[in-house]
Chains A and B, each alone.
Chain A
Amino acid sequence: MKLKLSPQTLLILEAFLDHPADWKYGYDLSRSTGLKSGTLYPILMRLADRKLLETEWEASEPDKLGKPPRHMYRFTPDGLRFARTSVSAATSGGLGQVALGRILSGLIGSG
């Protein structure tokens, strides 16, 4: 199943690649990527639907009394592979070439 690799998805993949073994929270991801909940969660949901992301509820800790458990996210082994390939393809110019192609075609079109 294909996953649309938008710049926002890449931002999230990059955020997860920073300490990939650690569980991450929704709001922390929102702050680190600068994405609003309306953009962040659909991407997380798609990643989880494709089994690229595992989700778990935080175990309640005595020091966090009164605070309800949070939902946490982490890459599955497949997700980690997918993220590494996607991010490296994007940074090594895969997406850059596409963007350049679009700019050039725009210039040719307008000229």
Chain B
Amino acid sequence: MGTPRNLAARLLRAIVRMAPEESREWALAMLRELDFIDGEWAALFWAIGSVAAIVRHAACHWRRWMKHETKEDGKMNEKGKKALGVGIGLFSSLMLVGCAFAILRIAGALFPGLDIDHLEWTHILTVIVIPEAIFVTAAVLLWRKRGPVAAGILTTALVVALHVVAHLTLHW
């Protein structure tokens, strides 16, 4: 099994593990098709498309669940709503950092000659600078209408920044 197909299988297996209950069967269906795909790169592109499909499906269910929850007045108090907002902000921003890191690792595995994995500036740019810029922009845009979500995003931004400071003080 070549590197792209191996990556595709790993990616889909991870998605099967992480997918919510309602999307898991579909994720497994996409993984099972992998054995029948001719070509290494075709398998990887299949996996990437499948991940996108699962994320959209899970997001759709989640949106429906949120609508249902917000319709049920009185069931969730203001504190609960704020906590949920902060949780959403935290989760989505952590997912972004995770995806950035995964992209870096995938690029490192696909193009070992470039040595991307061991270059510090690629880590700083992909996992820190770009996500931090997105976090700040998102927090500014969301602050008025979705304050708790913005707070969750800013918390992640702060944690990532603190991590960088700690890293720099320890290693430099």
- Spell out A's residues near B (CB within 8 Å): 25-27, 30, 36-42, 45, 55, 67-71
What separation, in Å, do the CA atoms of A67 and B36 have in the docked complex? Answer: 9
**Chain B contacts with A in 13-48, Cβ cutoff 8 A:** 25-26, 28-30, 32-33, 35-37, 45-48
Asked if B35 and A68 make an inter-chain contact with CB atoms under 8 angstroms apart, the answer reads yes
Given A25-B36, A68-B35, A71-B25: A37 and B57 within 8 A (CB)?
no
Asked if B50 and A37 make an inter-chain contact with CB atoms under 8 angstroms apart, the answer reads yes
Chain A residues whose C-beta falls within 8 Å of the C-beta of B57 in the assembled complex? 41-42, 45
Residue of A nearest to B54 (CB): A41
Residue of B nearest to A45 (CB): B57
Residue in A39, A45, A55, A70 whose CB lies within 8 Å of B33 = A70
B residues contacting the other copy or chain, number (CB 8 A): 21
Asked if B50 and A38 make an inter-chain contact with CB atoms under 8 angstroms apart, the answer reads yes
Chain A residues whose C-beta falls within 8 Å of the C-beta of B48 in the assembled complex? 38
Residue of B nearest to A70 (CB): B32
Asked if A37 and B29 make an inter-chain contact with CB atoms under 8 angstroms apart, the answer reads no
What separation, in Å, do the CA atoms of A68 and B36 have in the docked complex? Answer: 10
B52 at the interface (CB under 8 A from A): yes
Chain B residues whose C-beta falls within 8 Å of the C-beta of A27 in the assembled complex? 33, 36-37, 46
